Copies of this chain bind each other. A is one copy, B any other.
Amino acid sequence: MSNFEVRTYDAAGRLGELTVPRAGVTVETPTLMPVVNPHVQTVAPSTLESEFGAEILITNSYILHGSDELREPAVERGLHDLLDFSGAIMTDSGSFQLAEYGEIDVTTEEILTFQYDIGSDIGTPVDIPTPPDVAREQAVDEQETTQERLERATEVDTGEMLVTAPVQGSTHPDLRERAAREAAGTGLDVFPLGAVVPLMNEYRYDDLVDVVAACKRGLGERGPVHLFGAGHPMMFALAAALGCDLFDSAAYALYARDDRYLTVRGTEQLDDLAYFPCECPVCTAHEPDAVRSMADDDREELLARHNLHVTYGEIRTVRQAIRGGNLLELVDARARGHPTMLDGYRTLLDHAAQLERTDRVSKDAFFHTSTESARRPEVLRHQQRLDRFELAGDEVLLTEGGSNSDYDETWGVVPPFGPYPRGLSETYPLTAEVPDRTDRRAYEVAADGVARLVDLHPDVSFTLVHDDWPATALERVPDRVRLRDLHARE
């Protein structure tokens, strides 16, 4: 996959570079591909490029193919000239229309050739977008059809154009995983995760996370991964943490048309806003009352610009978080936007072992910022690696206090990680900052770490000196560990 290179990881999130040879550009990821409607442009592609820094956009080749007005100009002038955009252009194939209207009148071969002819940089076969919750049989049948088309797509002469391999499989994780493995096997270039829009529309972020995690298991570290139809900045951090690299947004324009205002904490109706909770150029220069009283077109454009500013701002925030090694802290913050986002975050942490595989070993800081933090991959990794240490003797003290020479060896203990050799106390993640008002879950997970260490050393006798741990944590410590309360002892 020489067209995509990962520069750094945080959890399964990654800063990457997608080389798009036909456009002669390299696109930094994660990134947003604004959806440009060939017929109606709320914000001109040239403006997306110059004002918002768009390096890539997406448009629909099926609409162009079916347009008496635009088909010929698209072929003659090429997409870049037609849209006035010099970055990379990805084209969709009509699969969305297939899902909406039940049939379309092109084949994968036809539409890929058309995409090539109009100068698309990344083309898309006609896959079958299987909706969530369908019976397994339908999901299997349709995925097989999609896979056949992907294989046919590899035989179409598309020159330097990259070609996507959409991953379907409905809400059946094992089918998603298989579909992803087969898609990766085609050698195609970009992996859109398809038919997830209904999950997002219904705020099913928990199911979305399970679907994406399954697809990622099948894809391995191949990429880039495109979360098709994901355009709300509220969930970019969550999706990025799973290893999604490309988002596409029609939301900035569609929402603007309905007076909807995007924020990283959700969606607001313009009518409900007395103040703009934002510092973008639109919101620093206008008051909501003034925007409400504008002409429809002006208001729509202004809201679309706000929506784009907040969307690209969140892309930068996600990138900086990956770079700074605090993407999971960002996910933790964004999870507070809506209870269903919290469900998504809690589900993400079910996949901690999967995130751990690529998570980098050392970062600047681990901030324990919620009850959920105790389930982060760094904690899991620390406890998994307890089997790497020898213990120097039969009597071992695990303590939140100081060393004691009555024991053969003293280890530290810290929530949520549990026991650690004292020599590691200044290394990541044991340098974690944890609230003084530590939550019960952090103690319980620390107790699980104690239990793991104790189980690894059946012949060693352990004493745990803890600082007033709650009963629910102490219950998880094996019976053979002697317990002492730090303050009771003094």
Contact = CB atoms under 8 A, between A and B. Distances in A.
Interface in A6-65: 51-52
Given A313-B277, A435-B346, A336 B336 contact: yes
B369 A279 contact: no
A329 interface: yes
A368 B371 CA distance: 14
Contacts of A323: 274-275
A305 to B, nearest CB: 10
Contacts of A346: 435, 437
B371 A370 contact: yes
A109 interface: no
A406 B337 CA distance: 41
Interface in A259-310: 265, 272-281, 283-284, 309-310
A279 B312 contact: yes
A154 interface: no
Interface residues of A, number: 56
A342 interface: yes
A324 interface: yes
A274 B472 CA distance: 43
Contacts of A342: 368-370, 435, 437
**Residue among A310, A369, A436, A439 with most chain B CB within 10 A:** A369
B371 A316 contact: no
Contacts of A367: 338-339
B369 A335 contact: yes
A433 interface: yes
Contacts of A338: 367, 369, 433
A354 interface: no
Given A313-B277, A333-B337, A433-B338, A439 B371 contact: yes
A369 B336 contact: yes
Interface string A315-351: 0110111011000011011111111111100110000
Nearest to A53: B284
Interface in A385-436: 433-436
A275 B319 contact: yes
A183 to B, nearest CB: 30
Nearest to A471: B472
Given A435-B340, A435-B343, A437-B347, A313 B472 contact: no
A151 interface: no
A197 B340 CA distance: 37
A144 interface: no
A284 B280 contact: yes
A202 to B, nearest CB: 12
A336 B345 CA distance: 14
B320 A274 contact: yes
A283 to B, nearest CB: 7
Contacts of A283: 313, 316
A206 interface: yes
**Residue among A277, A279, A437 with most chain B CB within 10 A:** A279
Interface of A: 51-52, 206, 265, 272-281, 283-284, 309-310, 312-313, 316-317, 319-321, 323-324, 329-330, 332-343, 346-347, 367-371, 433-437, 439, 441, 472
**Nearest 5 CB-CB pairings of A with B:** A279-B313, A277-B317, A333-B336, A275-B316, A371-B371
13 contacts: A51-B284, A275-B323, A279-B279, A279-B312, A279-B313, A281-B284, A283-B313, A283-B316, A329-B336, A333-B334, A336-B336, A346-B437, A472-B472
